Amino acid sequence: MRKIMKSMSLRIALPLVILLTSSLLVSGTAQTGGDNKSGERLKVYFVDVEGGQSTLFVTPAGQSLLIDTGWQDNAGRDADRIVAAAKQAGLSKIDYVLLTHYHEDHVGGVPQLVARIPVGTFIDHGPNREFDHGITEHGYAEYQKVLATGRSKHMLAHPNEILPIEGMTARVISSDGSLIANPLPGAGAPNPFCKISEVRPADQTENSRSLGIEITFGKLKILDLGDLTWDKEMQLMCPNNKLGHVDIYIVSHHGWYQSSSPALVDAIHPRVAIMNNGAKKGGSIPTLETILKAPGLETLWQLHYSDEGGSAHNTGERYIANIQGADEGHSLELTASKDGSFEVLNSRTNFVQKYSSLR
C-alpha cells in the first residue's frame, strides 16, 4: 500500500515541479533587460561628452542610432560613456553611427568607440571641406582610417532621404550644405519669426555642412540639426516654415550663439529643448534667452550648468544633469511612446518629468 501511495505521489508531484519550473523560467525571461520591443517605446540617451555631442536612440525594433561620438583622447572617456549607455540599453553593437560633421567634438571619438563596440554602418555628409583647421583634417583622416578597415559599412546621406533604421522614421533635413527643397507634410506656412531674426553672413566651416535629421516616432517629432548655423537656419525656415512644429528640439551647436535663431526656435514651437552643452562650451546667454522664451516651451533641459549663463539664465537645477563643480558624466534619458507622450529622466537625481500627449 505504501509503495502504491508513493508511486501516486510521484506521478502528481512531477508535473507540478515541471509546471513551476516553466513558470519561473518564463517569469525570469520577462524580467530580463535589453528587450525594448515589449513596451513599444523609443529610448534616447543624451550622453555627457562635456560640450560635444553623443545621442543614442534605441527603437522598439531593437535597432540603434548614435549621433556623433564626442571628443578624441581623454583616455577614451567619451567612448566609455557611450558604451556604458549602450550596455544599459542592452546593446552588444551599434547599428548606425551618424556623424553630423567633422569637428573634433563630434567625430573625435570614432577610433576609441570602434575599439570598444562594433558599429554596423557609418552615415555622413561626404568629404571634409574645411582645410584651414588642422584638427578638423586630423579627425576626418582618423575616421577614414576606420572606414578603410572594412569592418563597418558606409552610407552617404542626402536631404529628404529616409535612413534605413527600423522602428522610427529618420528623415535627412540638411547635408553637406544642402537643405530639403520642399516643406515636410503639414508644414510650409509663412514664418512670422523671420522678420525678428537678423541676417548673418554665410558660415564657411564644417558647421554649415551639418547632417541634420528629424525623427518621427508615431506622433512624436524630434529635431537634431547638429551644428547647423544661423544662415542655414534662415534658408531652411524663411520665408516659409519647412519643418512645422516639433515636440523635442535637440539644441543646435550646444547652445552657442552661432545657431538657434528665432526663425528656427520660435517657429518649430518645441515643448522641450535638450541642450548638450558643457560648463564652458555652449550655453550662450543669447541662446538661453531665445529658448527659454520660445512659444510653447515647457522645459529646457541641459547636460551642464552653463558658467556663462549664470544663475540668471540657466534652467532650473532639477533639469540640469551636471551642476557646478567636477564633471561626473551624468546623462539625460528620454522614453517616448507612439501616442506622443514622453518622459525625461535626470540620472544625477533620478528626477523624472512626464509629458502627456497633446495630439
Per-residue model confidence as pLDDT tens digits over 133-181: 789 999 999 999 999 999 999 999 999 999 999 999 999 999 999 999 9
Tell me whether residue 294 is in a domain: yes
The per-residue pLDDT for 32 is 28
C-alpha cell belonging to residue 253:
551647436
- Check pLDDT > 90 for residue 23: no
User: Do residues 349 and 317 share a domain?
Assistant: yes
92 and 19 share a domain?
A: no
> Residue 39: its pLDDT value, please?
67
Whether the CB-CB separation of 300 and 314 falls below 8 Å is answered with no
Q: Quick one: 148 and 294 in the same domain? A: yes
Q: Is residue 81, in this structure, part of any structural domain at all? A: yes
Question: In this predicted model, which residue has the larger pLDDT, 128 or 73?
Answer: 128
Tell whether 153 and 221 lie within a shared domain: yes
* Domain annotation covers residue 34: no
Run of H or E including 83? helix 77-88
Q: Are residues 19 and 58 in the same domain?
A: no
Residues 191 and 242 in one domain: yes
Least confident of 95-99, 150-154, 240-244, 323-327: 323-327
Q: What CATH number is attached to the domain comprising 231?
A: 3.60.15.10
Domain assignment present for 273 = yes
* Residues 232 and 287 occupy one common structural domain: yes
The answer on 7 and 65 residing in a single domain is no
User: Is 159:174 a contact under the CB 8 Å cutoff?
Assistant: yes
Does 17 lie in the same domain as 82?
no
* Domain identity same for 206 and 239: yes
Q: 266-279, pLDDT tens digit by residue? A: 999 999 999 999 99
The total number of structural domains that make up the chain: 2
How does pLDDT run across 334-348, given as a tens digit for each residue? 999 999 999 999 999
Checking if the pLDDT of 27 tops 60, the result is: no
CB 338 within 8 A of CB 307: no
Alpha-carbon distance 13 to 294, whole Å?
A: 67
128 within domain boundaries: yes
Cα angle 117-121-123, degrees, rounded to a multiple of 5: 120
Do residues 14 and 120 both lie within one domain? no
The reply to whether 300 falls in a domain is: yes
Q: What is the pLDDT at residue 11?
A: 42
Share of the chain above pLDDT 90, in %: 85
Residues 318-345 have a mean pLDDT of: 95
At 78-96, the pLDDT tens digits run 999 999 999 999 999 999 9
Tell me, what amino acid is at 158? H
| pLDDT over 60 (residue 35) | no
Residue-range definition of the domain harbouring residue 252: 40-355
Rounded distance between C-alpha atoms, residue 191 and residue 238, angstroms: 6
What is the pTM (predicted TM-score) of this model? Answer: 0.89
- Across the range 51-76, mean pLDDT stands at 95
Task: Report the distance separating Cα 178 and Cα 174, nearest Å.
Answer: 6
Q: With respect to residue 63, please indicate whether it lies within any of the assigned structural domains.
A: yes
Cell (9 digits) for 78: 567619451
pLDDT band at 18 (very low <50, low <70, confident <90, very high): very low
Indicate if 107 and 256 belong to the same structural domain: yes
Sheet holding 342-346, edge to edge: 153-156, 119-124, 94-98, 64-67, 55-58, 41-46, 332-337, 342-346, 351-355
> What's the pLDDT at 38?
43
Please check the confidence at residue 5 and state whether its pLDDT lies above 70: no
Whether residue 35 is contained in a domain is answered as no
pLDDT for the residue 249: 98
Reply yes or no on whether the pLDDT at 2 is more than 70: no
- What is the Cα–Cα distance from 277 to 266, expressed in whole angstroms? 20
